Amino acid sequence: MRLASTIKSYAKRLRLLKVNRELLVFFVFLCISGIFWLLQAFQESTTVLIDYKIRIANIPEKLVITSDIPESINVTVAGRGYDLMTFATEKNKQNLVIDYEEIERTSSALIIDNATLKRHISKIMPGAINFVSVSPAQISLSYSNGEKKRVPVIYAGDVTTGSQYSLCNIKIAPDSVDIYAPADIYKSVNVIHTEKIDFENIEHSHSCKLALLPQSGVKVIPDSVDVMFNIELFSEKSISVPISTINVPSGTLIHTFPSKVNVTSRVSAKKFNSIVADSFKIVVDYNSITPETKKCKLILLKQPAEVANTKLSPESVEYIIEHQ
């Protein structure tokens, strides 16, 4: 019985081995067929559509293009499959750059004709690839001669810091840029904004390059700026500050109760020890007092630039007016 069982087991294994061998042969022939098919396909001539980014170089500063320049053009090319595959994977390394002097100009338009497009495409196309067509066949751009004006740059995003940190300032370089715009737009542009990128819960000073938001019919030079966010560690500081008075007539005195106020501020760690009582000026304005006034509201007249979130306690005080 044991011998019969062993023979039966070996027979089963032989059958499985035969089946696996047949499957292996099938897959080998399938792979070989696929390789031959690919080789054949690579040898056959075909056409593909490729997008090219386009840029106009050396545009005069005062010339403002008022219509949108297409980001790319569609180029149809023909060639062997292998050559096209190589060409398509490498084409992103090059842009189509057309010099301003090569462009046909009318009194109101720049025209990049089909011959110019074809000539520039041919320059970057290997000999094994044939140009078929380009879309659009030509590019027409409206333009005008703009007036120059220098305007400030404003950061358009939002910045939040960690709980123990504060934003000291935002520095933009350059802080202003030159714009060129037609007469009907020129006067209405007084600032240029950066792209809106927000930063949340930052705890360290940070810098980045931000693009300037384009405006229709406006040319901006440069088109980007460096933005520096200066972040500092802040601590809370409390100081007792004497209360002063303003606008008090001659021969009159105002006595406040209490005579000092507690001032609490968030202070930069670097400036913590330099903030003293004389850094603040808290006053009572005589002109704000009426017969109905029971308490005078305190006014924060002066505080250092290095502090934030200043609070007074109390915010108003009792008083006595003395006439001498």
Q: Residue 318 forms beta bridges with which residues?
A: 257
Query: Token pair 């949108």 is at which residue?
Result: 68
Rounded Cα–Cα distance for residues 112 and 54 (Å)? 11
Alpha carbons 99 and 102: distance in angstroms, whole number: 6
C-alpha 121/C-alpha 118 separation (Å) is 5
**Cα separations in angstroms, 33 against 21, 40, 283:** 18, 10, 94
Residues facing residue 227 across a β-bridge: 172, 208
At residue 242, the pLDDT reads 95
Task: Encode pLDDT of 278-295 as tens digits.
Answer: 999 999 999 988 878 888
What whole-number distance in Å separates Cα of residue 74 and Cα of residue 49?
6
The pLDDT score that the predictor gives to residue 240 is 95
Helix (H, G, I), strand (E, B) or coil at 22: helix
Tokens of 190: 């007084």
Low-confidence ranges of the chain (pLDDT < 70): 1-45, 81-94, 127
Position 106 scores a pLDDT of 87
| The model's pTM | 0.56
